[in-house]
Structure 1
Amino acid sequence: MSQKTEQDDIPLADDDDTVTIISGGKTPRAAQPLPKEEPPEDPEEKARLITQVLELQNTLDDLSQRVESVKEESLKLRSENQVLGQYIQNLMASSSVFQSSQPPRPKQ
């Protein structure tokens, strides 16, 4: 007879048959319960599913890395655009071509 420990009372992630969906910073909401599926008995089918899961994990990892590199590139370009915008404003301010064509009004 085995004794039940405190650890046995902790629910596992697999015990929960619902999925929480988080999108766009909104409050998480519970989706419909996932159907309970028994693992395949066929070893070939099981191996195929394991291979598919591993491929999907690698794809997810690649996409995550790509998102991070695009974020970094975006921040770099945004910074460069700010520098160029300030440079253009400085050039326009120092050039007589872009100065107002109307004479300044006298202060009263």
Structure 2
Amino acid sequence: MSNSDNSGDLYNVPLSTDSESGELAKNSQQKLIDEENNKNDTFTGNSHSNSLDPDINPDEEEEKQKLITQVLELQNTLDDLSSRVDSVKEENLKLKSENQVLGQYIENLMAASSVFQSTSPKTKKK
């Protein structure tokens, strides 16, 4: 059909690991980290502290940043997959509609063709 040239695009949706989405994830992550650091500085009044809890060591802070990064990447992946699902649903509706049209067309052709007409036995006249 006319959508066959776009069908390859349905299977090539970039995920968060691809370069564009990866950049978006990095930018979002950096923004989140910056906001977190600004909040921490405001609450503690200390520009050297990265945490509200003075008992958190640098390893825990690093682990927290890794988790934030993973969450952002997963959010981007979810957004990409949701977009892909929406486009597949759209394509599915188009194909169903085309199938209905083709089915009706085939039925009309079969009805118009003598080859597909029912053969009822004719009674012989004597």
Establish whether TM, by shorter chain, passes 0.5: yes
2:95 aligned counterpart, secondary structure = helix
2:119 aligned counterpart, secondary structure = coil
Does residue 97 (structure 1) correspond to residue 115 (structure 2)? The answer is yes
The residue type paired with residue 87 of structure 2 is: S
The residue type paired with residue 77 of structure 2 is: T
Matched residue pairs, number?
65
**In 2: Cα distance, 1:80 partner to 1:74 partner:** 10
Higher relative contact order by CA 8 Å / sep ≥ 6: 1 or 2? 2
Does residue 67 (structure 1) correspond to residue 85 (structure 2)? The answer is yes
TM-score, structure 2 normalization = 0.49
Q: What's 1:56 paired with?
A: 74
**In 2: Cα distance, 1:57 partner to 1:73 partner:** 24
Structure 2 residue corresponding to 1:78, chosen from 96, 106, 119: 96
**In 1: Cα distance, 2:68 partner to 2:90 partner:** 33
More helix by share: 2
Cα 1:104–1:69, aligned 2, differ >3 Å: closer, same or farther?
farther
Q: CA RMSD in A?
A: 1.6
Deviation at 1:43, TM superposition (A): 1.3
The residue type paired with residue 81 of structure 2 is: L
What are the ranges of 5 or more consecutive residues in structure 1 without an aligned counterpart?
Answer: 1-40
What are the ranges of 5 or more consecutive residues in structure 2 without an aligned counterpart?
Answer: 1-55
Deviation at 1:103, TM superposition (A): 5.1
